[in-house]
Structure 1
Amino acid sequence: MTATKPLTAKSNDGSGPRRVLRLIEALCRSDEPTRLAELASAAALSKPTAHRLLSVLIADGWAVAHDGGRYGIGPTARAVAAMVIRAGREDSVESVLVELQQKIGQTVHLGMRSGDRIVYTHKVESSQPFAMASRVGTEQPLHSTGIGKCILAGLDEAALAEFVQRAGLERRTERTLTTLDALTRELATVRDRGYALDEEENEANIRCVAAPIRTADGRTIGAVSVSTVTFVVPRDELLALRDDVLETAERLADTLA
């Protein structure tokens, strides 16, 4: 687990630790990036105070700023959440992921949404000779990753269009989907089959299959994925692992959701 940064807001600026905590709580309540005015109201703060505290939270990774004056939870907050889970139920989460890795021999990731990105909260390394460059705490795009597609597949048409307008569709490789129409069609396929594929769309020579982790009311809070090197594991062998990934996602939902 990556080290987290301490909050640096000081009580002598008139904010006080309780105000910072109320603002973090307000950020955590929303699945989508939130406007400053809404955050200030939810945290019972003035807009100038909320804006000043957000600058501190952003600097230390507790929050992230998005286009349009919106703010979301940052990677440091996600890492802290993972450590809280570790203190309580993490043994179950970790054991489920390790069990999957030992069964299939490939790299396993667990990722959660962090604003308009995903952040890896867990990784179990492959037993193959080629190591993935990813690490816990790494942020990745939503549109070009299997985990991210699982999350985007849970959005309605309007929310997806707003996301694309706000975050854009960066071309990561020659295979990346870079138009709203192409992404919309891909997400319809993800919903129909229940899992997502990353066909070298985020990184050349890396192919992934991912399954969503859903709450009881159907919200997607994250996903579990298996990543392979294309010149080591053929595509059909990766697809053969999808049932194992889907089963693991269901087991994790009982623990995380």
Structure 2
Amino acid sequence: MVFRNAAGPGGALAIGNGESASSPTLIGSVQRALRLLEAVGAHPDGAPAKQLARETGLPLPTTYHLLRTLTHEGYLRRENGLFVLGEVAEAIGRGGARRRQRTHISEALAMAGRELRAAVYFGVYREGEVELVAVTDDPERPPVEEWVDFRSTAHAHAIGQCLLAQLDDAARKDHLARHPVQSMTPFSVRTEDDLLHRLDTVRRGHVAYDQQEYALGTVCSAIPVQVGSAAAALAVSLPADELHRLRNVTDQLRRMAEMTLTTLAFSISI
């Protein structure tokens, strides 16, 4: 985390008393700023400068100076004389939380992949695009190589079809206007009408199957999962010569999702 000096050049956070960017006390200045941020974060409703000075053990003049600088830079904001975390600090916190949540999802997928002996994927439809949130990386069961962007080829793979099937007509029409249907392999759907017919089937069966439609030599399936109001899906892929396992693996995935994976999916920031 880098703090900039709002009052002068140099890009460093100064604290007065003659300190500069070259001063050996710069690290101490940053440490004091971080202590203040932690103290403010402990008060969701905000805290006044004098209270923050007491809790951090900082001199009041230093506290005032750091609070002014952190407020100017967006790490804090002042409301009715109280200091609360600002947009910059909140964004950093959300980023860390999201990384931890994705780690939890990845660990859950890895466990599922080992039990299913398949590559496992978790995807969502966010802001008009298919987003692959997590995928297993077991070298014995490698995931499908993304040889064409998954976002622009949702019509050609199971996870994309599962997500598109969950959209309303307007959102689906908008998506296909931006990402028209195109054949990826000899097995892909050929036209938008073919795709819409397929999506009707997916909605009725709550599962999408892809037999070498995106990548030759690979078969996939995807099931919808509930993540609030967002469209989300879990998927598996197998070598094409294991097509006979696909329906059984899909049923196992559904049972596992009901027990564990959906709970983890709820924790991810959508």
TM over 0.5: yes
Partner of 1:172 in structure 2? Answer: 184
Q: Given the alignment of the two structures, is residue 97 of structure 1 paired with residue 109 of structure 2, yes or no?
A: yes
Q: Given the alignment of the two structures, is residue 225 of structure 1 paired with residue 238 of structure 2, yes or no?
A: no
The AA in structure 2 aligned to 1:215 is V
Query: 1:206: Cα distance to partner?
Result: 1.0
Partner of 1:236 in structure 2? Answer: 244
**Residues 119/172 of structure 1: CA separation in 2 closer, same or farther (3 Å cut):** same
**Residues 146/255 of structure 1: CA separation in 2 closer, same or farther (3 Å cut):** same
Corresponding residue to 1:183 among 192, 195, 206 = 195
CA distance in 2, matches of 1:194, 1:134: 24
CA distance in 2, matches of 1:144, 1:82: 31
The AA in structure 1 aligned to 2:184 is R
Query: 1:101: Cα distance to partner?
Result: 0.9
Query: 1:114: Cα distance to partner?
Result: 5.0
Partner of 2:211 in structure 1? Answer: 199
Secondary structure (helix, strand or coil) at the match of 1:120 reads strand
Secondary structure (helix, strand or coil) at the match of 1:186 reads helix
- Unpaired stretches in structure 1, ≥5 consecutive residues: 1-79
Is the 1:209–1:238 contact (alpha carbons within 8 Å) kept by the matching residues of 2? yes
Identity of aligned residues (%): 22
**Residues 96/131 of structure 1: CA separation in 2 closer, same or farther (3 Å cut):** closer
CA distance in 2, matches of 1:194, 1:225: 12
Query: 1:156: Cα distance to partner?
Result: 2.7
Query: 1:157: Cα distance to partner?
Result: 3.1
Per-residue CA shift, 1:14-51, capped at 9, x if unaligned? xxxxxxxxxxxxxxxxxxxxxxxxxxxxxxxxxxxxxx
Partner of 2:263 in structure 1? Answer: 254
Secondary structure (helix, strand or coil) at the match of 1:147 reads helix
Corresponding pairs, count: 172
* RMSD over aligned Cα atoms: 3.0
- Unpaired stretches in structure 2, ≥5 consecutive residues: 1-92
Give the TM-score, by structure 1 length. Answer: 0.57
Secondary structure (helix, strand or coil) at the match of 2:251 reads helix
Secondary structure (helix, strand or coil) at the match of 2:182 reads coil
**Residues 190/201 of structure 1: CA separation in 2 closer, same or farther (3 Å cut):** same
Is the 1:176–1:202 contact (alpha carbons within 8 Å) kept by the matching residues of 2? yes
Name the one with the larger helix percent: 2
The AA in structure 2 aligned to 1:154 is Q
**Residues 244/85 of structure 1: CA separation in 2 closer, same or farther (3 Å cut):** farther
Query: 1:202: Cα distance to partner?
Result: 0.7
Per-residue CA shift, 1:86-111, capped at 9, x if unaligned? 32x44542332122111111111222
Q: Say which one has the larger Rg.
A: 2
Query: 1:112: Cα distance to partner?
Result: 2.5
Secondary structure (helix, strand or coil) at the match of 2:155 reads coil
CA distance in 2, matches of 1:134, 1:165: 22
Partner of 2:140 in structure 1? Answer: 128
**Residues 111/140 of structure 1: CA separation in 2 closer, same or farther (3 Å cut):** farther
